[in-house]
């Protein structure tokens, strides 16, 4: 289970600084956190984590979602509040696996695609990794 406060190298911003998130609510297997520094403001950053399991035996399927939503002012008119989101969905046929090795490999591949640019081995948190650029520009 996740702690009530996410801190100490669990979430970082583009510069590598830690961001603290506080648990706001948990309903079943869905949990919502909010950026602690933005609690009670008009411009929250939320982290939602959801986990679902359907079926049983070899037909058991697991779906997990991690989603960040950030509210900010429009960069065009400076007045309109907007919400931008990014999320990861994992769907796995858990009933056909006895370990999480395949899922761990896929997570590693996703993380590295987002955070590496092909010119080094340092993880880039500033959105300049190859996969991050694909998300930002649509260049496929």
Q: Does the domain at residues 1-96 carry the CATH identifier 2.40.50.140?
A: no
Q: pLDDT-derived band of residue 120, with 50, 70 and 90 as boundaries?
A: confident
Nearest Cα neighbor of 52 from 39, 34, 65 is 65
pLDDT digits (tens, 9 = 90+) for 80-103: 999 999 999 999 999 999 999 999
Break the chain into its structural domains and give their ranges. Answer: 1-96, 99-140
Q: What is the pTM of this model?
A: 0.90
pLDDT digits (tens, 9 = 90+) for 26-63: 999 999 999 999 998 999 999 999 999 999 999 999 99
* Region of 64 on the Ramachandran plot (φ > 0 left; ψ -120 to 50 alpha; else beta): beta
Nearest Cα neighbor of 106 from 91, 125, 119, 128 is 91
Asked whether residue 8 carries a pLDDT value surpassing 80, the answer given is no
Q: pLDDT-derived band of residue 139, with 50, 70 and 90 as boundaries?
A: confident
């Amino acid at each position: 289970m996740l702690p009530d406060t996410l801190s100490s190298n669990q979430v970082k911003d583009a510069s590598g600084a830690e961001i603290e998130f506080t648990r706001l609510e948990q309903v079943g297997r869905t949990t919502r956190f909010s950026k602690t520094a933005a609690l009670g403001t008009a411009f929250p950053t939320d982290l939602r984590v959801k986990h679902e399991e359907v079926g049983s035996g070899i037909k058991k399927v697991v779906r997990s979602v991690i989603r960040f939503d950030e509210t900010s002012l429009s960069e065009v008119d400076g007045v309109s509040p907007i919400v931008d989101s990014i999320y990861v969905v994992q769907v796995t046929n858990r009933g056909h696996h006895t370990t999480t090795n395949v899922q761990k490999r896929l997570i590693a591949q996703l993380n590295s695609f987002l955070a590496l640019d092909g010119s080094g081995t340092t993880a880039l948190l500033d959105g300049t990794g190859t996969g991050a650029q694909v998300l930002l520009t649509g260049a496929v």
